[in-house]
Amino acid sequence: MYYASRTLPNFFAFGLVTVALAKLLPQVQSSSRLHTSDTRTFLTLLTITGIIFRSELALLLIPHTLLILLRRQLSLPMIITSGLLGALVGLSLTVPIDSLFWQRFPLWPELSAFSYNILHSQSSNWGTSPWHFYFSSAIPRLLFNPLTYILCIPFSLAQPALRRPAAELILPNLAFVALYSFQPHKEWRFIIYVIPPLLTAAAMSANWIWTRRSKTLIYRILSLALVGSVFASFTASTFMLSLSRLNYPGAEALNRLHAIAPSYHAPSEVVHVHMDTLSCMTGVTRFLQLPPPPSPSPLFPPPSPSPSSFSSPSASPREQAANETDNRLFYIYDKSENETLLLDPIFWERFQWVLAERAERVIGRWEVVDTVDAYAGVRVVRPGDSEGGDGGELGGGKGGERSGVWAMLREGEWKGVVDVVERCGCRFTGGWWIRVVMEPKIRILKREREVVGLGMGGDW
């Protein structure tokens, strides 16, 4: 869910590639002319997506194009014209727009990325993985449900009635993964495009088994296993999602700072905030940064709140919104990571707030206002020590005694909810449980006010 919302080229491409691959699926009562049109649309759309967003899609295009030629779905001239059309459309969109934003003309970003990563072999600077990483780790984790690749996909290839359509879904996409495995630097987002076709092939065999569950005992058992695996995968995915949200203390720290800072500053005051590298790597993005108060416009002046709107609950929503907007702090954010600059005391003088992993590295007099914990692993709780967990663990507390679970969820008291779940679970397991271990990660620092000495050295 997190990666699906990120503005990475892979995930812009993911939707378009899925639409393109859908054009290769057999259609009910489709004519050969319509199928030819769909195949050409697939080639054109995949070429456009590769040119604009991700150049590695050329590796996905190669096996699919070879399969189209082998099946004689399109002639070679038709394939070439479809590719050229996609290239023309893609280049006409990416070159002028990206050249404008990067202020370099002509610029084709994916060509630059291809040159850097492939021709100059610089991708290994970001880390390397063994050649089998995609097959042994990435794909099983992306498919998640183990019955998908243990049962369903092999069944689709073994069942004569499903073999051909399943092979056309599986083999070209796994060939793309095999080709990409020669690249030393590997990330699962690079091959995310193959997951919908693989799941489609798995769904074919799951449907075959389910519709025959009343015929034989083996189909009945397999149907129950499939249903159980879906619920088990959903439960495990929900648990992992709850853990994943604990990996982004930077985002939590920035949200807490926005909630804390107004109590220390006058309305509309300019507030400088520095965010260190770990904060930026764990959730701080421009989407979380608050925009400055709007500048007054002579053409569209902001509404003037009436004097009663500052204290009267009967003020209109428009007046209340105008008052809140006008009184909002003006945040200026800094993400400098230059080591020389960070060692200069003058650099820190302009900041009122700092998000830092290590408070001792921030030069000057600072007060730790709050600390944000992050995920540090799990530990097994045994009977007898399920109560009294320390402050660095989720669970073992007394959450839930003040209010109900739903009230805590509304108030964002996740630790209290975890405490309730742990106590309920321990009743069924005899005291055994898995507890999430937390550790301090990001400190929210506020500059201490300068104390001015008067008279005989006395301080105020």
Can you give the pLDDT at residue 307? 47
Rounded Cα distance, 272 and 277, in Å? 17
Mean pLDDT computed over 135-147: 94
Of the given ranges (131-135, 248-252, 404-408), which has the lowest mean pLDDT?
A: 404-408
Residue-wise pLDDT for 366-393, tens only, equals 999 999 999 888 888 788 764 544 445 5
User: Is 6 or 312 the better-scoring residue by pLDDT?
Assistant: 6
Percent of the chain with pLDDT over 70: 79
Residue-wise pLDDT for 307-322, tens only, equals 444 444 455 554 454 4
222 pLDDT higher than 70: yes
Confidence of residue 245 (pLDDT cuts 50, 70, 90): confident
Can you give the pLDDT at residue 427? 76
Confidence of residue 408 (pLDDT cuts 50, 70, 90): very low
Can you give the pLDDT at residue 85? 96
Can you give the pLDDT at residue 334? 95
157 pLDDT higher than 80: yes
Cβ neighbours of 281 (radius 10 Å): 11
Q: pTM of the prediction?
A: 0.73
Mean pLDDT computed over 426-437: 78
User: Is 313 or 73 the better-scoring residue by pLDDT?
Assistant: 73
Contacts of 267 (CB under 8 A, 6+ apart): 326, 327, 328, 329
Can you give the pLDDT at residue 83? 95
Buried b (16+ CB within 10 A) or exposed e, 212-235: ebeeeeebeebbeebeebeeebee
Number of continuous H segments (helices) and E segments (strands) in the chain? 19, 8
316, 322, 323, 328: CA torsion to nearest 10: 150
Of the given ranges (31-45, 79-93, 408-422), which has the lowest mean pLDDT?
A: 408-422
Mean pLDDT computed over 347-360: 95
Handedness of CA 390, 392, 395, 400 (dihedral sign): positive
Of the given ranges (61-65, 221-225, 345-349, 412-416), which has the lowest mean pLDDT?
A: 412-416
Provide the β-strand partners of residue 250: none
Confidence of residue 404 (pLDDT cuts 50, 70, 90): low
Confidence of residue 407 (pLDDT cuts 50, 70, 90): low
DSSP-assigned letters across all residues of 60-121: HHHHHHHHHHHTTSS-HHHHHHHHHHHHHHHHHHHHHHHHHHHT-SS--HHHHHHIIIIIS-
Residue-wise pLDDT for 170-189, tens only, equals 999 999 999 999 999 999 99
